[in-house]
Amino acid sequence: TRLYFSLLPGWAVLAGLGAAGLSRIRFGRVRVRRLVHVLVGLTLALGAIQTAVDMLRSRPMAPILGIESEGDYRLRNLSAYELAMRGIAALPEGRRVLMLWEPRAFECWPRCSPDAWIDQWYVSRRTLPSTEAIAAAWEDDGYTDVLVNVDGMSYVRANDSRYAGRDWDELDRLLASLPVSATFGEGYRMLRLP
């Protein structure tokens, strides 16, 4: 969704033009302009309430005030992702991690490379002839481990029609051939490249 932020100014202009056009319409004694203003105000109020509730729930001031450590705050809000980042930080010097279906690289860059466009496996399958070649190319690029976002992989598997069944079969074969060095909750698995 972050990629749509660049469209927000255009949508704001369109919404303003739409509201201006609607304000000229009347249904009997009812002015549509007032209804539009009430709906916009209600939407903004509900959005503000939701934001306030989310802030209270996540307690962002706790680490600033020293009530909670930054690590505990991240663990509470990011759960398994934070555990995976701690696992990457604990790896011996010289180890590099390639992430699959995980676009975030908080706390681990440059030791890890995120899958920013969620297409690392797709591109690898289209440019290299086999899973052995994919693993060898990753090793040649300096990676020693692969971190798989299991939930992200499952989501893409269920919703992305670009992949063929063979792509998933090959991925399953590759992941089965790599030893699991760590799991972080149910959401992340770290595999060691041979």
pLDDT in tens, 8-63: 999 999 988 988 887 778 777 777 778 878 888 999 999 999 999 999 988 999 99
| Predicted TM-score (pTM) of this structure | 0.76
| Res 172: pLDDT | 96
Query: Cβ(72)–Cβ(172) under 8 Å?
Result: no
pLDDT above 70 (res 149): yes
- The DSSP call for residue 25 is -
- Integer-rounded Cα Rg, in Å, for the chain is 24
Q: How confident is the model at residue 106 (pLDDT cuts 50, 70, 90)?
A: confident
State the pLDDT at residue 1.
Answer: 67
pLDDT at 3: 77
pLDDT greater at residue 6 or residue 153 = 153
Rounded Cα distance between 151 and 101, Å, is 8
